[in-house]
Structure 1
Amino acid sequence: MDFAFDARTEELRARLLAFMDEHVYPAEQVAHEQRARLSSPWENPPVVEELKEEARRQGLWNLFLPDAEYGAGLTNLQYAPLAEITGRSPQLAPTATNCAAPDTGNMEVLAQFGDERQKKQWLEPLLAGDIRSAFAMTEPDVASSDATNITTHIRREGDEYVITGRKWYISGAMHPDCTIFIVMGKTDPDGPDIRRQQSMVLVPRDTPGVTVKRAMQVFGYEDHYHGGHAEVVFDEARVPVSNLIGEEGGGFAIAQARLGPGRIHHCMRLIGMAERAIELMCRRAVSREAFGKALAQQGVVQNWIADARVAVEQLRLLVLKTAWMMDTVGNRGAHTEIQAIKIATPRTVVGILDRAIQLHGAGGVSQDFPLAELYAGARTLMLADGPDEVHQRSLARREIKKYL
């Protein structure tokens, strides 16, 4: 394993770091002020559109997509340090570079499984940043940690599919530019193979029977920059059979293919969030005094900072190893490592952010620093893309199997 940056990664990394310093960080406060003046909280502040134009101009666009026909053609190992950089400003940088979830995963699904018409109609405008999308999988009435529990029904009537069900925490669905949903439901609910009961269909937002009911909060945050998280009801919503992605019964496999890259992308960005937290901790520690000496001279603070640095270096190596394995032996071959980073990274970064909040006192839980919002995002990732316990269960079974 060689984790040294190659020439292309070094060049993109230098450009991206400059883009963050010159454009993204200065835009954070501007975006906050502009949002307060918008008619709808779900609209992009004007500065976000300016960032997107600048990122596109600099070639910092669609960096996540390994398919060179549609994206930058980077390997996971090449993309990892770039995603980490954007994770330092998760509200702005991923959107500015067209590398924000859930659009990234949806573009990967369309690039890998979509037909030519679907790519033309939906993938191309997503790649251009002209529209947004949502992935409708999680449901409020079942334990969605087990995707076979999904109850949304997709029945065929002639040349149409009729979708009925209720979803929630559907990321991106509140954004006014969100025009397409990828919906997972059961086309064969009584089929003998529980992993072949599900299918995925494309459902335009303006389809009769589709209702975006409300925005769901996450620790009180509405996550405006990513288009929020919505409760969505499908009441006899009809779409053409040609809107099926892949084949009937292929939804579970497509979901697994989508979630592998999604999980590592989240972990890459989480490391950037942790680096931002360490930077804020150090700046705070050298600028504030308590009980007659700087916080940086307090032993407990030094321990927090040292432990955070050690933890981040460990996580980064594990994420890079996982990226390398995904590139060399595929997602299936890297299954254990993907689960390991999904368990370790959010949990560890939550701890780092918690210490950073503590060091900032009341400021840490306020809107004057990004820490509280970063904490909410990191803590949510202990649930999103499969809760920790599901990954622990699967990983443990695979380890135990070696000894049976």
Structure 2
Amino acid sequence: MKQQHYKTAIILSMLGLISIALLLWQALGMQRHLRITPDQGYRVEVADDREIGGGSVVKRIDTPGKWHFSCELAAKYEWPFCELAVFVGTPQQGLDLSRFDTVEVKALYRGPGSHQMRIFVRDFDPAYADPAKNETWKVQGAFVVPPADGKPVRIGLDSFPVASWWISSFKIPPEKAKPSFDNVPLIQFGSSTLMEPGHHEVIVDYIEFQGKWLSRAEVLLIIATLWVLGLSVLFLGRLRRVEREKQEINEAASRDPLTGARNRAGVINELNALLDNGLRLAGKSMGVIFADIDHFKRINDAHGHATGDEVLKLFANELQRGIRNSDYLVRWGGEEFVVFLPLADLEQSTWVANKLHRLLHEAQWPAGLAVTASFGVALSGDEPLNDTIARADAALYRAKHGGRDRVEIDMPPATE
């Protein structure tokens, strides 16, 4: 019992340690990164407001390892803009950014005003967008102000709401108007509504998406699953132990404590069921051998009950040694034992009885005794098992009155 408590404590401790380790790993590690840089060869385009009546002029500047564009922002149009677009995929196969939660951008801004710029992460869904018209792709944007010292700036991906003007312009249903990042073919860097007219330059080193390989919810689910599995193992183990203990108790109750043979009360119902529901239905029989130690009372009287007990134990051991594992050795009472031989005919049963008779002669008995036994053999017929046992007992009686130390056979009753 102490050993089992120790095992339970070990399992629970391991589950606790694994849980803590997973939570710490999720909080402090488990990082995944997707960095997009100019050197990766993505197609780049620039655009301004001239196509819709504005006067702003954008120009891409070829700078190694940078996305670099200038913008002469003019107030001719109500919402003047310049932008640089990076095509990181196709509408059919964009980037899946849904597992990330943070965006890091390293950029430099030159120009008048607040230095605020806008980043768009465009998602494509064929339910509402046309692959040939990127203006129909979902517009999700956030404002950033790059630090003057060029250090990266980080913002949450949840800071990229869907543009209300895009929802209104393309009559997007509410269920499709929520942010989505599972198929992103386009990322844009552009001017913001706070840009003042004049000359502006934006230089971008990279944009990086950051997140966890597993979310906290997923880690908690894994931990819960591990605990359920661990506790289930403990529970099933406990059930098996209870069942095993129950079987051991039943086994102990069905066996003679001195000889280890089955006892009469613990086996008779099992044998009746075996005979009635198995052997007879298959047209098979069961051999019954009744064995009784000759002059056992004299052994007890002359050598004491301790020696008598040793004789009984050795007698049972010799009988058990001479039969199959599928056979039954039953202590019937006192010095009487009965052997039941499933699937045996009369000839085989008689052969086993003679074998047991010989083994007893070869055994080394306590106190130099010469112990013998008498045997009665019978074969089951159509009668109840108790009748077969009674016929084996009658054969034993004849062996006793015929001089003992011998085997007698009783034939089964004739069937009509």
- For normalisation by structure 1, the TM-score amounts to 0.21
Larger helix share, 1 or 2: 1
Instruction: Tell me which structure has the larger Cα radius of gyration.
Output: 2
Greater fraction strand: 2
TM-score, L = length of structure 2: 0.21
